[in-house]
């Protein structure tokens, strides 16, 4: 009997691992011809492995699937598995693309052929996501892998003329590994697009000779910071108390901290930040 990761049904029957009559009673199809145990909760790796088997072990995992295998966070679990493979009619749950790739742009991850981190970023950054979504996904990939912009630019130089290079250039100019959530990426881009100076992310605040706090983003020269507060700050009483103490100490240290909550509009956020910077600059003159 077979257990664990997905398998090709016809191969399991041919080798005598599963009697034919049990294939459909104890297992379920993941993709055409590829099966897994009926009650198995499939991980991203399991789904990617099943898609690779469906491609006759010929495809290369790419795009957001590759990003997830490289450790990127904040990806939807139900996103299609992306494969670099020539097939115009993939089944539901798989997305295929026929692209040119050099041998050094692929590697093995968990036994699967996967695009390298730099090649993965090259593909993700060129996709037709809204810019803030693409930047958020690149922030996560860069943070997970330690990628540099230069490494991705090197890949781009090898593939001149492919679609999306201008989009990739824009996205790379906005990437910041300091973002710890998609909302923080969104907030940073709201500020940058409004014409404010690009904020530094994860600003260390030293108290008593050691770093006690990190601020999401801000400007150290005027001591103005902007932080995104998630729902847990209001529903977790212990966290709320800690945040209150933190806020009071930062104020004593001279920081103006703009708190951004769910539902705040871009216009309101920008106005509050501009006002804080202006007030602080007037004092420092």
The pLDDT of residue 232 is above 60: no
Tell me what percent of the residues of the chain surpass a pLDDT of 90. 80
Give the model confidence (pLDDT) of 173-219 as tens digits: 999 999 999 999 999 999 999 999 999 999 999 988 899 999 999 99
Q: Please say if the pLDDT value at position 230 is more than 90.
A: no
pLDDT of 72 over the 80 cut: yes
Model pLDDT, residue 284: 72
Give the model's pLDDT for residue 198. 96
**pLDDT on residue 234:** 60
The pLDDT of 30-52, averaged and rounded, is: 95
From residue 52, alpha-carbon distances to 8, 58, 158, 271 in Å are 11, 7, 26, 50
CATH code for the part of the protein at 182-284: 3.40.960.10
Element (H, E) at 158: helix 149-158
- Specify the pLDDT at position 285: 67
Contact indicator for 199, 188 with CB cutoff of 8 Å: yes
Average pLDDT over residues 11-15: 93
**pLDDT surpassing 80 at residue 151:** yes
pLDDT digits (tens, 9 = 90+) for 106-150: 999 999 999 999 999 999 999 878 999 999 999 999 999 999 999
Other beta carbons within 10 angstroms of residue 111's beta carbon come to: 10
Q: Say what the pLDDT of residue 231 is.
A: 62
Instruction: Name the strands in the sheet holding 60-61, side by side, starting at the edge strand that comes first in the sequence.
Output: 94-97, 81-84, 60-61, 112-115, 106-109
pLDDT at position 128: 79
End-to-end CA, the chain: 77
Q: In 3D, which of 72, 38, 32, 69 has the Cα closest to residue 50?
A: 32
Which residues are registered as beta bridge partners of 112?
A: 109
* pLDDT band (50, 70, 90) for residue 245: confident
Among 21-30, 196-205, 230-239, 270-279, whose mean pLDDT is lowest? 230-239
Looking at every residue in the chain, the average pLDDT score rounds to 92
Residue 235: predicted pLDDT: 64
Domain with CATH 3.40.960.10 in the chain: 182-284
Beta-strand relationship, 34-37 and 7-8? antiparallel
Distance of CA 235 to the CA centre of its chain: 26
Nearest to 258 by CA among 226, 214, 229, 231: 226
Q: Which of 37-46, 101-110, 207-216, 238-247 has the lowest mean pLDDT?
A: 238-247
Percent of all residues in the chain with a pLDDT value above 70, rounded to a whole number: 96
pLDDT at residue 281, rounded to an integer: 86
Question: What confidence category does residue 240 fall into, taking pLDDT thresholds of 50, 70 and 90?
Answer: confident
Please check the confidence at residue 1 and state whether its pLDDT lies above 70: no
């Amino acid at each position: 009997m077979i257990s664990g990761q997905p398998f090709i049904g016809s191969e399991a029957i041919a080798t005598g691992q599963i009697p034919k009559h049990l294939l459909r009673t104890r297992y379920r199809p993941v993709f055409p011809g590829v099966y897994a145990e009926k009650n198995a909760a499939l991980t991203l790796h399991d789904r990617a492995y099943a898609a690779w088997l469906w491609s006759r072990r010929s495809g290369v995992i790419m795009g957001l699937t590759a990003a997830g295998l490289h450790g990127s966070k904040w990806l939807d679990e139900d996103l299609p598995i992306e494969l670099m493979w020539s097939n115009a009619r993939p089944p539901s749950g798989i997305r295929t693309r026929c692209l040119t790739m050099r041998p050094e742009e692929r590697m093995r991850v968990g036994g699967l052929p996967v695009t390298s981190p730099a090649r993965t970023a090259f593909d993700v950054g060129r996709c037709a996501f809204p810019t803030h979504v693409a930047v958020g996904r690149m922030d996560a990939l860069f943070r997970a892998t330690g990628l540099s912009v230069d490494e991705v630019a090197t890949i781009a130089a090898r593939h001149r003329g492919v679609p999306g290079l201008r989009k990739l250039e824009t996205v790379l100019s906005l990437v910041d590994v300091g973002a710890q959530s998609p909302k923080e990426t969104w907030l940073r881009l709201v500020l940058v697009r409004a014409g404010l100076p690009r904020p530094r992310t994860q600003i260390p605040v030293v108290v008593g000779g050691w770093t006690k706090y990190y601020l999401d983003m801000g400007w150290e020269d005027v001591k103005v910071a902007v932080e995104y507060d998630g729902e847990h700050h209001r529903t977790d009483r212990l966290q709320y108390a800690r945040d209150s103490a933190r806020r009071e100490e930062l104020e004593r240290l001279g920081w103006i901290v703009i708190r951004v909550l769910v539902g705040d509009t871009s216009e309101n956020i920008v106005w509050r930040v501009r006002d804080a910077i202006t007030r602080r600059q007037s004092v420092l003159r």
